[in-house]
Amino acid sequence: MTDATGRRAGRVVIGTLGLDQHEVGAMAISQLLVRHGYEVVYLGRFNTPQRLVTVAAQEDADIVGVSVHSWEFVAYADELLARCGDLGIGLIFGGSVLTAQDRSDLLARGADAVFGPYASEDDMLRQIAAIVDRVRASPAEARAADACAADARATRESAAGPLSGRVFIVTGAARGLGRAYTRELCRQGAAVVANDVDEAELKEAASAVGDGPGRVHPVACDITDAQAPRVLLDAALRRYGQLHGLVSNAGLLRSGPILQLGDDDLRLVLDVHVTATFRLLRVIGGYWRAEAKAGRAVGAAVVLTTSAAGLYGFRAEAAYSAVKAAVAMLTQVAADELGRYQATVNAIAPAARTRLTGWLGDGPGGPDRDSWAPEHVAPVVAWLLGPAAREITGRVIEVGNGQISVPGSWRPGTAYPLPPLMSPAQARTLLPQVLASAGPLPGLLTPDTALSDRSGLPRPEQERPPAS
């Protein structure tokens, strides 16, 4: 973000220290700064000096601002002053318990400004602007050298990659696609809160990500638990301070014709694919809405998981096809709803060799030789979560087995006038006509057609991939 003169806006990291839970002052000053064109990196409660300053370094912030409502600041002030001094960034204290004596003490020890209760806004803004100027005027090389000395440097280096500094939740991350997504997001520098119901497998998957520039924080819980979205959101916020995106990937399959699939299986399929996804959108969307309303929209992105089964139907998989169709439509409506909070919502219809596609059989082993390997899908998900896809929302992307495409969606058919209180005779004439105008019904997928490039399915000419 830059101002009218093209200068980058002042950037301030704000939080409270230790167990000082009185956050209202920090929130109020953050809103004030945002209104006046600053970028605020809001860290909320329960910070240590190390956390505040590490984030400030990583964010290239100009100032650390600490809101003080308990005497704990006394215990942390020296460390905070030293760390900010090392980095050459500004340090401000503000809060109701700060006395005139505190003010002179802290200023003497190197704080840039100290604001007591009901400090004048004009005065605060003037001083903060001056501190930003001073910090930026200090030699960049010297600041960089200082930063190298601090542990911030390690953090910054480790955060290299197109998704560096972004935080995502991936559900169903222990195996298959979710595991491939987690690995790819980390490879591109993101921090991932990886979720799965299988704790052992999840931990193994998290440790297997290795030393990539990103990081993984495994959180095992059942995504159908009503608390799960909150638990995952809290984990992201507590561990990484923010959440930029969600990949709702957890899935399972209960196969069977309608006449055989029992209630328990039906409920489970609905819960995992529809209810859990809906809840994730509600809880995490609610958080992004709050952020946007507070002037801190994060530019978030959601990737949901539908399936060719949900788009075209799959023989003898009515439940699975129905829930995946639900997710496809959820994607469109959620995109509209969350768009106002600067969040995009897209879905992926992956074709990959996972536990859900056991009928594919074993692959040749390794993504190099297997076009059905989940690793081929992961870069598409990473792209949808990244800066290049900010304008893309409400879309389904079908990807896997060496192909990628964007399927069309339901469109209105040719409209005929509806006779009022139509007689049976009129219906006999009209309805065959209307149905004929819709053309033939596309066939359902079967294991055979799904394995092919689906050339048996009607596909409008203009949506064919360009020949390469």
Q: What residues are labeled active site?
A: 307, 320, 324
**392 lies in the binding site for other proteins (CB under 8 A):** no
Report the distance separating Cα 118 and Cα 96, nearest Å: 8
Instruction: Kindly tell me which residue out of 49, 165, 310, 407 binds other proteins, with binding defined by CB under 8 A.
Output: 165
Which CB, 48 or 371, lies closer to other proteins? 48
Count other C-beta atoms under 10 Å from residue 246's C-beta: 30
Instruction: Kindly tell me which residue out of 19, 425, 438, 441 binds other proteins, with binding defined by CB under 8 A.
Output: 19
Which CB, 112 or 291, lies closer to other proteins? 291
Which CB, 103 or 175, lies closer to other proteins? 103
Report the distance separating Cα 97 and Cα 125, nearest Å: 21
Contact 150, 58 (CB under 8 A): no
Report the distance separating Cα 163 and Cα 387, nearest Å: 8
In the complex, minimum distance from the CB of residue 82 to other proteins, in angstroms, rounded to a whole number: 17
In the complex, minimum distance from the CB of residue 238 to other proteins, in angstroms, rounded to a whole number: 5
Residue recorded with tokens 């809060």: 95
Bridge partners (DSSP) of residue 8 are 2
Instruction: Kindly tell me which residue out of 167, 205, 377, 381 binds other proteins, with binding defined by CB under 8 A.
Output: 167
429-458 binders of other proteins (CB under 8 A): none
Report the distance separating Cα 461 and Cα 468, nearest Å: 16
In the complex, minimum distance from the CB of residue 144 to other proteins, in angstroms, rounded to a whole number: 20
Phi and psi of 16, rounded to 5°? Answer: -105, 170
Closest CA to 177 of 442, 383, 422, 355: 355
**227 lies in the binding site for other proteins (CB under 8 A):** yes
Instruction: Kindly tell me which residue out of 62, 271, 291, 317 binds other proteins, with binding defined by CB under 8 A.
Output: 291
Which CB, 221 or 347, lies closer to other proteins? 221
How many residues bind other proteins (CB under 8 A)? The answer is 80
Which CB, 283 or 396, lies closer to other proteins? 283
181-200 binders of other proteins (CB under 8 A): 191
Count other C-beta atoms under 10 Å from residue 456's C-beta: 13
Burial of residue 117, with CB atoms counted within 10 A of its CB: 0-12 exposed, 13-18 middle, 19 or more buried:
exposed
27-46 binders of other proteins (CB under 8 A): 27-28, 30-32, 39-43, 45-46
The distance from CA 169 to its chain's CA centroid, rounded to whole angstroms, is 6
Closest CA to 126 of 112, 107, 141, 106: 112
Instruction: Kindly tell me which residue out of 7, 74, 333, 418 binds other proteins, with binding defined by CB under 8 A.
Output: 74
Which CB, 121 or 336, lies closer to other proteins? 121
Phi and psi of 89, rounded to 5°? Answer: -110, 160
In the complex, minimum distance from the CB of residue 156 to other proteins, in angstroms, rounded to a whole number: 10
122-161 binders of other proteins (CB under 8 A): 151, 155, 158-159
State the binding string over 294-333 for other proteins (x if CB under 8 A, else -).
x-x-x-----------------------------------
Closest CA to 147 of 98, 208, 83: 83
207-226 binders of other proteins (CB under 8 A): 215, 220-221, 226
In the complex, minimum distance from the CB of residue 328 to other proteins, in angstroms, rounded to a whole number: 24
Instruction: Kindly tell me which residue out of 49, 58, 250, 347 binds other proteins, with binding defined by CB under 8 A.
Output: 58
Which CB, 45 or 254, lies closer to other proteins? 45
**12 lies in the binding site for other proteins (CB under 8 A):** no
Which CB, 287 or 320, lies closer to other proteins? 287
State the binding string over 89-118 for other proteins (x if CB under 8 A, else -).
-------xx-xxx--------------xxx
270-289 binders of other proteins (CB under 8 A): 282-283, 285-287, 289
